[in-house]
Amino acid sequence: MRIDYGELEPFIESVERELAKCEGLKDYPSRWLAIRLLEGDEELSELLSEKCGGDVYRSFEEVRAEARKAVGRDISEFASAKRFSFIMSLAREAIVRARIPETKRARSLFYHPVIGMALSLTLLLSIFMLVFTVNTGFPLNTVLSLLGQEELARAVEEYSLSGLLEKGLGWLMDLARSSIANPLLASFVADGVIGGVASILAFLPLILIVMFVLSLVEDAGLLPRMAVGVSALTTKIGLSGNALFPITISLGCNVPGIMGARASLTAGERIRQILTLPLIPCQARLVVLLALATALRTLGGWLMVFTGYVAAFSAFVVLNYALYRLSRTREPTPEMLLEIPAYHKPLGKVVWWMTWNNVKHFLEKAGTIIFSSSVVVWALSSFTPALTYTDDPSNSIAAEVSRLLAPAVYPFHVTGENTWMVVFGLLMGFVAKEVFVSSILTITGAPNMAEAVSVMGLTDAQLIAIGVFTTLYVPCLATLSTIYSETRSAKLTALSILLLMGTAYLISALVYYLLTLIP
């Protein structure tokens, strides 16, 4: 199937005959080349003069002049009109148009400045709870635990998708350790290879479900209406209503949240979201905050979680607004300009294509980086500086590096011979935030976080400051690799690290010094 250019066709054929005499342009499709030359492509015209000589070029110029007279206007404009007519003819044959009535009540609910915002936030919260309950059991397990149903809460968490996946991968790791006689090889296969794969697959169910629900809501025509409902709120910090879904999803995991920033209306808004969404506390950071909260002695455990979330959301709002104001001279105030489609039943093929495209992107890009880095981390924590294998992390290269980086926690007045333990936990938290807790328990040999904190000699003020720092500092490896894969820029990835580290130190140090004032 090819486009019929009408009055231009004889001249296209004439140019093709002239081009057949030139051996230097045999690699180009002759019809495409003839059309582009007639339209006035300067680079191809220079190439024609260079490769085919003056005679062929002069013959082409004569044909082009005759073609301009025949069509009576600019040839490129004439050719473009023909191409658009061809596209519209295909669209008329392939697209089925049907008028779907939409009630005034349905429109007014989402577009009302108060009701629309409340309805959109309620729907997003419901989606958030459904997605993460199925994937991890949270927040249903927390609600059941508060109601005194501890056994049911553990069952919900154990038989969630992540729980089942973790159990299966844990079984494979135990099998590798028990069936491989060489301890070094067993550790490499179990902790390096299987553990590296586990760090990738741990995110897969969440990303799959999030992208499926997002595709479902979008294809049904609901997502644009929800964005309109909250646009009045998000515009105040330089974001359009489209930012609400990535923010909500980031409460569970920053990786799909950052990937969801693709729905941003402008490139500037998308970059700001990518840089600031890692400040939103994910579920893993909630686990860390809850674990540290159990170790508080004089202050209530709720203060740990409350301080962490307030600090994170405050930093997100302030930093986003600051970046927006700095770029405002080059970027207009975000306005919602969306085509609102009619409600309709989602198409299975469309939903699957959108879901699989995003999941495949994560596996190909972030997965490669996560796996290779996990193997590197295993090596650093399994070998001594003399390159001999050790099962004691305190003698490993990672421990030696942690001791060198001990000044990193001096702003919280954490000093002493066990300072490296805190640094080691923070380093391991870079791989995955949940690893912070297990790393601390492993290197201290304590059965719970309360005793581990006692071994490290931390005060309540230091503990809360470390909890806030853990919430705000450089995100996990998966998030950082996603930032790079989404921006394709090492500079923006480095800028994200600097912003997050600077924000983490500033706020956590401030929290520490304010808490030291409490008698």
What is the Cα–Cα distance from 256 to 485, expressed in whole angstroms? 12
Q: Could you report the per-residue pLDDT of 52-92, keeping only the tens digit for each? A: 887 888 888 888 888 888 888 888 888 888 888 888 888 77
Residue 221's SS3 state is coil
**CA-CA-CA-CA dihedral for 92, 96, 101, 107, to nearest 10:** -80
Picking from 166, 165, 167, 173, the residue whose alpha carbon sits closest to that of residue 192 is 173
List the CATH number of the domain containing 54: 1.10.287.1770
Q: What is residue 339's predicted lDDT score, i.e. its pLDDT?
A: 66
For residue 187, which amino acid is it?
S
Residues 398, 322 share a domain: no
Residues 162, 45 share a domain: no
- Residue pointed to by tokens 């709720």: 302
- Residues 6+ away with beta carbon under 8 Å from 319: 275, 276, 279, 499, 503
Residue 447 located in a structural domain = yes
Residue 73's SS3 state is coil
- Residues 6+ away with beta carbon under 8 Å from 468: 307, 308, 311, 504, 507, 508, 511
Residue 209 located in a structural domain = yes
Would you give per-residue pLDDT tens digits along the chain (519 residues)? 688 888 888 888 888 888 887 877 888 888 888 888 888 888 888 888 888 887 888 888 888 888 888 888 888 888 888 888 888 888 777 766 666 555 554 556 777 777 877 887 788 777 767 776 777 676 677 678 778 888 888 888 778 777 787 778 778 878 888 888 888 888 788 766 776 666 566 667 766 777 788 788 878 878 777 777 777 777 778 787 777 778 877 876 788 888 888 877 777 888 889 999 999 988 778 778 877 887 887 666 667 878 888 899 899 989 988 888 887 555 665 566 666 777 778 888 888 887 887 677 667 655 666 667 667 767 877 788 888 888 777 788 888 888 888 888 888 888 877 888 889 888 878 877 877 877 787 677 677 788 888 888 888 888 999 999 999 998 888 888 889 888 888 899 999 999 999 999 999 999 999 988 876
449-472 CB burial, b ≥16 within 10 A, e <16: beebbeebebbbbbbbbbbbbbbb
Q: What is residue 208's predicted lDDT score, i.e. its pLDDT?
A: 79
Q: How many CA atoms lie within 13 A of 404 on its CB side?
A: 6
Residues 110, 47 share a domain: no
Q: What is residue 510's predicted lDDT score, i.e. its pLDDT?
A: 93
Residues 120, 74 share a domain: no
Residue 332 located in a structural domain = no
From residue 96, give the alpha-carbon distance in Å to each of 91, 219, 221, 352: 9, 16, 17, 21
Q: Are 262 and 358 in contact (CB under 8 A)?
A: no
Q: What is residue 63's predicted lDDT score, i.e. its pLDDT?
A: 86
What is the Cα–Cα distance from 508 to 514, expressed in whole angstroms? 10
Residues 476, 421 share a domain: yes
- Residue pointed to by tokens 């044959």: 93
Residue 21's SS3 state is coil
Residues 134, 46 share a domain: no
* Among 326, 360, 390, residue at a domain's last position: 326
* Among 63, 94, 125, residue at a domain's last position: 94
Residues 477, 353 share a domain: yes
* Among 296, 326, 356, residue at a domain's last position: 326
Residue 467 located in a structural domain = yes
Phi–psi pair at 487, nearest 5 degrees: -100, -25
Radius of gyration, alpha carbons of the chain:
30
What is the Cα–Cα distance from 305 to 287, expressed in whole angstroms? 10
Q: Please tell me the total count of domains within the chain.
A: 3
pTM over 0.85: no
Phi–psi pair at 383, nearest 5 degrees: -125, 145
Residues 278, 135 share a domain: yes
First CA to last CA across the chain, in angstroms? 82
Q: Could you report the per-residue pLDDT of 210-264, keeping only the tens digit for each? A: 778 878 887 887 877 777 777 777 777 878 777 777 887 787 678 888 888 887 7
Residues 166, 211 share a domain: yes
Residues 164, 227 share a domain: yes
Range of the structural domain that residue 468 is part of? 348-516
For residue 390, which amino acid is it?
T
From residue 93, give the alpha-carbon distance in Å to each of 3, 87, 117, 286: 16, 10, 40, 53
Alpha helices in 260-382 (DSSP H): 267-276, 283-293, 301-326, 348-364, 366-382
Residue 1 located in a structural domain = no
Residues 412, 439 share a domain: yes
Phi–psi pair at 183, nearest 5 degrees: -65, -35
Residues 53, 133 share a domain: no
